[in-house]
């Protein structure tokens, strides 16, 4: 059975004391979850070592990072490598977020290298995909997202893909308050699963978790998470308040 995951992407928000306080609130408020359900928090890099020690006793809250460099090491001033993240007890790395694709010009070739760095260092990838509004308006979102997945992931074999979670985040829904309807989310998630199935077969496709992201909040999480191909969420703004984030965690269906 595939995992249900609620992951918080803090983006560039909260200073260190604020971040540690939020982790504390999540630590104190997070429910006991069974093995099929996970909470992930992805704070900024600078919070990570202290976050790891705060979370060290908590089995069901996992630590994520928001990015890593595509090379293993070297003269890349200001960058952070996958092996540094691994050594700081990071378990998940978010890659290919639309903000990184847009503002930092990350393309499929670079993302495929980042995916390799994360997996070869024994961590898991949360691989983001999603179309801008003009692509949705043109009705070509399935092709667009399919190409992102092909470019970023199809060089992997099925064993490596088992350590990848996909997050569908339509750009027009990120930070806009305009959530995809549950029908739009389900349609795209089913399409993504069919793209995986065509390349890796139905068993691999059935076992990969696909999260929805984009203005997910307590009021719409239960409906989105009830869709058969939606396996949880990647949460931005609502992950910055423990009460809202934990209410979204509570919306994960029982089975
Ligand atoms: P919002 O939840 O703020 O729309 O952000 C979604 C997102 O980009 C998570 O990675």
In whole angstroms, what separates CA 50 from the centre of its chain?
A: 21
Domain extent, residue 203, equals 4-250
In a domain? residue 174: yes
In a domain, 230, yes or no: yes
Question: pLDDT value at position 199?
Answer: 98
The pLDDT of 242-246, averaged and rounded, is: 98
The pLDDT mean for the chain works out to: 96
Mean pLDDT value across residues 2-15 = 97
In a domain, 220, yes or no: yes
Beta bridge partners of 127: 95, 166
On the question of pLDDT at 240 being above 80, the answer is yes
Assess if residue 238 is contained within a domain.
yes
Average pLDDT of the segment spanning 75-99: 98
Residue 197 located in a structural domain: yes
* CB distance 104 to 68 below 8 Å: no
Residue 160 banded pLDDT, cuts 50, 70, 90? very high
- Using a pLDDT cut of 90, give the percent of the chain over it: 91
| Atom 5 in ligand 1: residue holding the nearest Cα | 236
Q: What is the DSSP letter of 239?
A: G
- 169 Cβ below 6 A of ligand 1: yes
- What is the model's pLDDT at position 33? 86
Is residue 255 included in any domain, yes or no? no
**pLDDT of 57 strictly over 90:** no
Position 59 scores a pLDDT of 80
CATH number for position 42: 3.20.20.70
Tell me the average pLDDT across 105-119. Answer: 98
Q: Which of 99, 106, 169, 244 is catalytic?
A: 169
The reply to whether 17 falls in a domain is yes
- In degrees, rounded to 5, the angle at the alpha carbon of residue 210 between the alpha carbons of residues 224 and 95 is 120
Number of folded domains in the chain? Answer: 1
């Amino acid at each position: 059975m595939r995992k249900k995951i609620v992951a918080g992407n803090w983006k560039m928000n909260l200073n260190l004391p604020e971040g540690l306080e939020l982790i504390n609130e999540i630590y104190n408020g997070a429910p006991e979850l069974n093995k099929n359900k996970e909470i992930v928090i992805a704070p900024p890099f600078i919070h990570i070592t202290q976050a790891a020690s705060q979370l060290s006793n908590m089995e069901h809250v996992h630590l994520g990072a928001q990015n890593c460099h595509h090379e293993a090491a070297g003269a890349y001033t200001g960058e952070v490598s996958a092996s540094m993240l691994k050594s700081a007890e990071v378990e998940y790395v978010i890659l290919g977020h639309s903000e990184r694709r847009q503002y930092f010009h990350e393309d499929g070739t670079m993302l495929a290298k980042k995916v390799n760095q994360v997996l070869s260092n024994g961590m898991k990838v949360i691989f983001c995909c999603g179309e801008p509004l003009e692509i949705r308006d043109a009705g070509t979102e399935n092709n667009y997202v399919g190409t992102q997945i092909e470019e970023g992931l199809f060089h992997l074999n099925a064993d490596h893909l088992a350590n990848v979670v996909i997050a569908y985040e339509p750009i027009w829904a990120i930070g806009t308050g305009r959530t995809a309807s549950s029908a739009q989310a389900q349609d795209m998630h089913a399409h993504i699963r069919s793209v995986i199935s065509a390349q890796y077969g139905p068993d691999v496709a059935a076992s990969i978790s696909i999260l929805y992201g984009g203005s997910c909040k307590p009021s719409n999480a239960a409906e989105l998470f009830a869709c058969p191909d939606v396996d949880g969420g990647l949460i931005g703004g609502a992950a910055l308040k423990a009460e809202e984030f934990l209410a979204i965690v509570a919306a994960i269906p029982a089975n």
